[in-house]
Amino acid sequence: MSGPTAPFLVKICGLSTPETLEAALAAGADMIGLNFHPRSPRFVTRERARELAAMARDRAEIVALVVDFEPHQAAELAADLEADWVQLHGRETPEQVAAIRAATGRRVMKALGVAGPADLAVIPAHAAVADLILLDAKPPKDAAYPGGHGKPFDWSILAELDPGWRFMLSGGLGPANVADAIRVTRPAGVDVSSGVESAPGVKDIGRIRDFIAAARRAAEQL
């Protein structure tokens, strides 16, 4: 994968209402994420997702977040939404990532949970088949759905990564700490969901704006 020469990416994930989607677009989000995991508080129905995707089209890249989908399921969803990306947030193997990428014809982002240095060992195999790696905090063992659940991991362990790997950072980010996260990890972009919410699944327009502004300011210093 190439080094971080492409424009810095800011992704707002788990959007579920026209008002908060519009706020993210107006604030300059590069990517908007629609969550199709039914156990997540950010789950959207296919009907609502089509509405939101239509609002975002040609203004930001549309990301369909799925968990352990079969290739044909991912392909049908991506075609229905006219999604730009499919985000794989389950236990997909590199072989499954490659199969979904081939079936959908879309770019694929693979999320990998990180809690300690040992978790970085799986990155090369996934990076070889995915278009982008998303490093997220590993969820608690009893979690009902994937993701960081608002808790960051120890960013300093990423100092051991090959500097040629291009990744997005997620997990416990918010307006107050995103600048530090960018400074420490120097990612290709950042992704936030619960960090811009007032309650699980309820996005806060002010926090969305603040997060994007803080991330942009920090990225300019890279």
pLDDT score recorded for residue 142: 57
Q: What angle do CA 21, 23, 28 make, to 5 degrees?
A: 100
Task: Give me the catalytic one of 136, 154, 180, 204.
Answer: 136
Q: For residue range 51-109, what is the model confidence (pLDDT) as tens digits?
A: 999 999 999 999 999 999 999 999 999 999 999 999 999 999 999 999 999 999 999 99
Contacts of 165 (CB under 8 A, 6+ apart): 1, 123, 127, 133
131 in active site: no
136 in active site: yes
User: From start to end of 9-54, where are the E strands?
Assistant: 9-12, 31-35
Task: Please indicate, yes or no, whether the overall pTM of this predicted structure exceeds 0.95.
Answer: no
**Token reading at 62:** 């549309």
Q: Which CATH number fits domain 9-219: 3.20.20.70, 3.30.420.40, 1.10.150.20, 3.40.50.620?
A: 3.20.20.70
Task: Give me the catalytic one of 13, 30, 68, 84.
Answer: 13
pLDDT score recorded for residue 165: 86
Q: For residue range 122-176, what is the model confidence (pLDDT) as tens digits?
A: 999 999 999 999 999 987 665 555 544 468 999 999 998 888 889 999 999 999 9
d(CA 96, CA 216) in angstroms, rounded, equals 34
